[in-house]
A and B are shown apart, each in its own frame.
Chain A
């Protein structure tokens, strides 16, 4: 009998190619996702050293960060010159090195972390990397997924392996069920609020408990997506019937006998009874409220019923950081969160740009009009967009006064023209509220799609449960 192992231990053990005496491992990588911003220097490095991509059939590229999301994006003039060069470089690298590619013109194009699962590239038990910190998203399938830097992108391209030391095991359990109006986004933000942005540093987190089991695959992806904001190297959720159902029939999922063999293996992917955890955090699902962020770090989380905190309520370096956040955000301690007026609403990103997110927002908006200056929905992929149109969600957004965009990262990081102006305040479903993230001087409040929709309707931060109360 081997000692009880965690899910992370199991996936790790199955991918070690070589272990050095000091414990440094060479880990085999099953899927390598690539986007235009963090890859050009890596491909250039390969060219300069005359190296090839070792496993082009396991390497998948899609442009997402820079691409315009306006309907006229086929017109090259919608892109700045440097963005155009970066996307063109990916086109060329994909062609030259023979990797799978979804160009901007392809309906399957979208945010890399939405496209991977959608196309069946991401499967349980795999190791997945991408030159992007939100690679953690793929952990929702019980795959070990981490973000890497560009040098590592080059390393994986050349060798299909990654040099890693094993992280510690952390368990985050959400017991019981969520209350009405509370979503996966509120779970993941609340966990970061409880543990801090460095709480997971050095760990791989496994999320478990009834509230996690009750989430859809979309919701699980939202939870794992923000593991990185909690500092963790990766987030994981053990695969179950919901996972298998999601994967079945996807273009790159196995079929027939291979599918059967895969499911049999996937069913062994769970943390054994008695496995060792280096850290355990437990939250009660019933205690989680709809939350928003007030500051410029994702750990600055409060229930929507709260008030803006005073810097003095913190300790150490956080006192100065909180003061700086409040100045940047233009907020005063004691102010009720629901009194904060919103200019702009952004629904999208790899955190909340999937079909379920759009359904949740549309349910709040149906038959109503927005009171904010501008609001946009940016679906996570061309296929999410198409499905939302088919379900009539697009029309609900348009009727409410939202712009209905094409797929991309958009205002999540504002590398394309979708940006906030200085001082503009945004209710956003993305994952980072850093200074300048959505545009220099822009002020970001993170929240769930339902909460963002509620803010769009009232023009200020709003407890979605009150808006829901009106509708029923």
Chain B
């Protein structure tokens, strides 16, 4: 997994609430057996017409935001299907950080497994960040995971919370499976206890 420490980049504003994972990556792109290559279909049905032409008004089609690395989004981002194709598509496009007032649980989890940092901020802060993002490509935001701050292009800085285990994994690009396998003996112990307590399971 790619490490995440600090990121300075363009933030794209998507004020819509309840952006679901079907919008982020529609189902026709879930037939892949790989993780990569989904970026071109990120937000496909909002981004392209039925015959594949770019819709110029869509934020990521606008020249200022084509290289966005941060998304500022409305409430409840990533709701719906558990498809990890959603963070894969974001990452493949180049988005490394999403900021919203709230995220759906599974999506939030999936981000951390893929080196994407989801940040929850209160509404008034999201409003400030959204306004900053709307200023276009010259307004670059900085996300500092070590210090746990987001700084706007005009220097306003806001702190955020992140789970310490997840922060550690992101900062170091650590793979969960490797860490868990270090606890294999605890799993063995649990299994043999459970086998006598709940033999039907």
What residues make up the interface of A, taking CB atoms closer than 8 Å to B?
14, 17-18, 20, 22, 24, 26, 28, 30, 37-38, 40-41, 44, 49, 51, 54, 65-66, 80, 82-83, 85-86, 89, 123, 125-126, 131-133, 146-152, 154-155, 158-161, 163, 165, 197-198, 201-202, 228, 231, 233, 253-254, 258-259, 261-262, 265, 297, 316-318, 320-321, 324, 413-415, 422, 432, 434-437, 440-441
User: Would you call B84 and A155 a contact (CB within 8 A)?
Assistant: no
- Return the contact of A133 from the options B106, B177, B197 (Cβ within 8 A): B106
Point out the residue from A82, A198, A324 that lies within 8 Å of B16, measured CB to CB.
Answer: A324
Q: How far is the CA of A202 from the CA of B83 in the complex (A)?
A: 19
Q: Give the docked Cα–Cα distance between A24 and B183 (Å).
A: 14
Digit string of B158-201 for contact with A (CB within 8 Å is 1, else 0)? Answer: 00000111000000000011001101101100110010011111
Interchain CB contact under 8 A, B50 and A17: no
When A and B form their complex, what is the total count of cross-chain residue pairs whose Cβ atoms lie within 8 Å? 186
List 16 contacting pairs A-B, 8 Å CB cutoff, sorted by A: A24-B163, A30-B201, A51-B177, A83-B31, A125-B201, A149-B83, A149-B84, A151-B176, A155-B180, A197-B79, A261-B199, A321-B17, A413-B81, A432-B22, A434-B22, A436-B45
Chain A residues in 8 Å Cβ range of B106: 133, 146-149, 228, 233
Q: Which residues of B contact A41 (CB under 8 A)?
A: 33-35, 84
Chain B residues lying within 8 Å of A123, measured Cβ to Cβ, are: 200-201
Nearest chain B residue, comparing its CB with the CB of A196:
B76
| B165–A198 touching, CB < 8 Å | no
A173 to nearest B CB, angstroms? 22
Residue B28 interfacial (CB < 8 Å): yes
B18 contacts which chain A residues (CB < 8 A)?
197, 297, 321
Interface centre among B45, B74, B109, B183 (most CB of A within 10 A): B109
A26-B180, A132-B82, A147-B106 known, 7 other contacts, Cβ within 8 Å: A18-B186, A24-B165, A44-B34, A149-B109, A151-B84, A161-B187, A258-B199
Which listed residue (B28, B31, B176, B201) contacts A86, Cβ 8 A? B31
Question: Which of A38, A146, A152 is in CB contact (< 8 Å) with B83?
Answer: A38
A-binding residues in B (CB < 8 A): 15-18, 20, 22-23, 26-28, 30-35, 45, 50, 74-76, 79-84, 87, 102-106, 109-110, 113-114, 163-165, 176-177, 180-181, 183-184, 186-187, 190-191, 194, 197-201
**In the complex the two chains form, what is the Cα distance from A89 to B31 in whole Å?**
11
Shortest B106–chain A CB gap in Å is 6
CB distance from A212 to the nearest CB of B (A): 23
Q: Is the CB of B165 within 8 A of A38?
A: no
Top 7 closest pairs, chain A to chain B, by CB: A254-B200, A151-B113, A317-B17, A149-B110, A82-B31, A40-B33, A149-B84
Contact between chains at A320 and B114 (CB < 8 Å): no
> Residues of B contacting A49 with CB < 8 Å?
177
Query: If the complex has contacts A262-B200, A415-B28, are A198 and B163 also in contact, measured as CB distance less than 8 A?
Result: no
Report the separation of the CA atoms of residues A441 and B198 in the bound assembly, to the nearest whole angstrom: 49
Name A440's contact: one of B20, B45, B180 (CB within 8 Å). Answer: B45
CB distance from B105 to the nearest CB of A (A): 5
Closest B residue, CB atoms, query A22:
B164
Residue of A nearest to B103 (CB): A201
Q: How far is the CA of A155 from the CA of B79 in the complex (A)?
A: 22
CB distance from B198 to the nearest CB of A (A): 7
**Cβ–Cβ contact A148 & B102, under 8 A:** no
Nearest CB of A to B42, in Å: 14
B200 touches A261 (CB 8 A): yes
Smallest CB gap from B81: residue in A: A133
Whether A17 contacts B199 by the Cβ 8 Å rule is: no
Chain A residue numbers with a CB within 8 Å of B198 are 14, 125, 262, 265
Identify which of A38, A262, A414 contacts B84 (C-beta below 8 A).
A38
Contact A131 B165 (CB under 8 A): no
Candidates A83, A158, A202, A441; contact of B181 at CB < 8 Å: A158
B80 touches A434 (CB 8 A): yes
Are B33 and A44 neighbours in the complex by a CB distance under 8 Å? Answer: yes
Q: Which residues of A contact B200 (CB under 8 A)?
A: 123, 253-254, 258-259, 261-262
Return B2 CB to nearest CB of chain A, in Å: 13
- Give the docked Cα–Cα distance between A338 and B103 (Å): 34
Q: Are A422 and B163 in contact, CB atoms less than 8 angstroms apart?
A: no
Give Cα A165 to B76, complex, Å.
Answer: 20
Contact A28 B79 (CB under 8 A): no
Name which residue of chain B comes closest to A295, CB basis.
Answer: B18
Chain A residues with Cβ under 8 A from B105's Cβ? 201-202, 231, 233
Interface contact A413-B27, CB-CB below 8 Å: yes
Interface centre among A89, A125, A233, A321 (most CB of B within 10 A): A321
Q: Which residues in A have their C-beta under 8 angstroms from that of B191? A: 28, 160
A131 to B81, CA, bound (A): 9
Shortest distance in angstroms between A229's beta carbon and chain B's nearest beta carbon?
8
**Docked pose: A66 CA to B107 CA in angstroms:** 22
In the complex, are the beta carbons of B33 and A163 less than 8 A apart? no
Cα–Cα distance between A470 and B26 once the two chains are bound (Å)? 42
Q: How far is the CB of B16 from chain A (nearest CB, A)?
A: 6
